[in-house]
Amino acid sequence: MSDKEFDVIFIGGGPGGYAGAIRAAQLGLKTMLIDDRKGDDGKPAPGGTCLNVGCIPSKALLDSSKHFHHIQHDYTAHGITADGVSIDIDKMLERKRKVVKQLTGGLVQLFKANKIEFVNGRGKLFSDRQVEVTPNDSEKYTATAKHVVLAAGSVPFSIPNVEVDNEYILDNVGALEIPEVPQRFGVIGAGVIGLEMGSVWSRLGAEVVLFEALDDFLPAIDRDMAKVAQREFRKQKLDIRMGCKVSGAEVSDGKVKLSYNDGQDDHEEVFDRLLVAVGRKAATDNLASDDSGVDRTDRGQIKVDAHCRTSAENVWAIGDLVRGPMLAHKASEEGIAVAESIAGQAGHINLETVPWVIYTDPEIAWVGKTEAQLEDEDIEYRSGAFPFAATGRGLAMGNAVGQVKILADAETDELLGCQIVGAYASEFIGEVVVAMEFNGSAEDLARIVHAHPTLSEAVHEAALSVDKRAIHKAN
């Protein structure tokens, strides 16, 4: 094999591409990984949207802003008072950048340790798995591989008449770098990113208004759970306006004038900064030539089968480029599964048990089906719910907001879904995911000993409640 021939080339080094490349190298495959992202210092910054401008920096800001909010609003009940609390936004942003740099730099070391040929530059697929490689700092050349994995991720959707300049009208990149707390912060889209970034700037003191075109808040979860979350967000003064479709925004004199319709009338509002968070689309631009044989769906995603095979022989696609949830852990597991399939193993990922999390306060986490989906599919089910207000740990912590809900098959008792609204929901949704992967039942969860006092006892009690035998609430 020449220097330019590989067993596998990954195009895109986000959680999908980098995890897949590491797994491929572990399996003894000669692996190239091409990723175009550079940090502010000009150094390679693999890790994709997730590490650079997504999951990690948003969580860093969510944590910083949470500390600021708690110390001002939640500690007095514990007998703690703190006067003269202030926040240094520069320092907060610098901490976030440091976390990102530590992770992206760590990846470059991991690539070396795994003997992956890592190129900081762009890759483009042509026919017969020829890849045009354009390094950021040298001449382009062609490499070939037995397998190519497309892992280029996604970019934000735009809406007509709202032009992102990342100074006043922002996408996720700009929203993670606002240099001072805006007095009024507008957000288009009350989905995952809108709610998380809205929470950050609201906790830091901005007046935050979210405009959501749909009438139903968070349609991916059940109405009762969405209501619990919406009530808490209202208490936090997040002004969430449902059924409000934004039709345009323009910048003048350092302010953003936004136009929207509430289903009846047209309105205008003025903000200091505006975030456009209306979803993301597959990043297919300039990724594959027309004769590469890679088909797309009507929605512009790369078309794949259940094993992430595209229509072109030995070309695969993973992560945000393809169907399924746009989540980092889904992308990584697909990357790993594809590497294993290429190496002749039985690579597999179960999209039915991918957990979702929104890192607001309370956190919202869910897996599997909702009641509405089960009803649509004519599946008979039983449900059990349990509030954190009835857990010792929730009360001791002073954070007993929200509840757990479990859905199980009415006949077999197999777990079909779980939704959690509450503190640390992101951490203990995992136990339900594990149980579901093992085709566990609500009874299994109900018979497992849960440590006391923990918030996870609410999962235990919700599972007991499916059979109307919860201990710490009336059934």
Site residues, ligand FAD (CB under 6 A): 11-17, 34-37, 48-50, 54-55, 58, 122-124, 151-154, 172, 193, 283, 287, 319-320, 326-329, 331, 359
**Which residue, 71 or 214, is less far from ligand AMP as judged by CB?**
214
452 included as an active-site residue? yes
Please tell me whether residue 34 binds ligand AMP under the rule CB under 6 A.
Answer: no
- 211: partner contacted, choices ligand FAD, ligand AMP, none (Cβ within 5-8 A by kind): ligand AMP
Q: Which stretch binds ligand AMP (CB under 6 A): 121-129, 209-217, 369-377, 443-451?
A: 209-217
- 246: partner contacted, choices ligand FAD, ligand AMP, none (Cβ within 5-8 A by kind): ligand AMP
**Which residue, 159 or 421, is less far from ligand AMP as judged by CB?**
159
Q: In the complex, which residue's CB is closest to ligand AMP?
A: 191
**Which residue, 46 or 394, is less far from ligand FAD as judged by CB?**
46
| Pairing between β-strand 31-35 and β-strand 5-11 as defined by DSSP bridges | parallel
Rg (CA), the chain: 24
**Which residue, 54 or 384, is less far from ligand FAD as judged by CB?**
54
Please tell me whether residue 188 binds ligand AMP under the rule CB under 6 A.
Answer: yes
Total chain residues near ligand AMP (CB under 6 A): 15
Please tell me whether residue 214 binds ligand AMP under the rule CB under 6 A.
Answer: yes
The CB-of-212 to ligand AMP minimum distance in angstroms stands at 5
Please tell me whether residue 279 binds ligand AMP under the rule CB under 6 A.
Answer: yes
The CB-of-245 to ligand FAD minimum distance in angstroms stands at 22
**Which residue, 197 or 342, is less far from ligand AMP as judged by CB?**
197
- 159: partner contacted, choices ligand FAD, ligand AMP, none (Cβ within 5-8 A by kind): ligand AMP
- 393: partner contacted, choices ligand AMP, ligand FAD, none (Cβ within 5-8 A by kind): none
- 278: partner contacted, choices ligand AMP, ligand FAD, none (Cβ within 5-8 A by kind): ligand AMP
**Which residue, 220 or 397, is less far from ligand AMP as judged by CB?**
220
Q: Report the interface residues with ligand AMP, using CB under 6 A.
A: 159, 188-189, 191-193, 211-214, 245-246, 277-279
Return the active site residues. 452
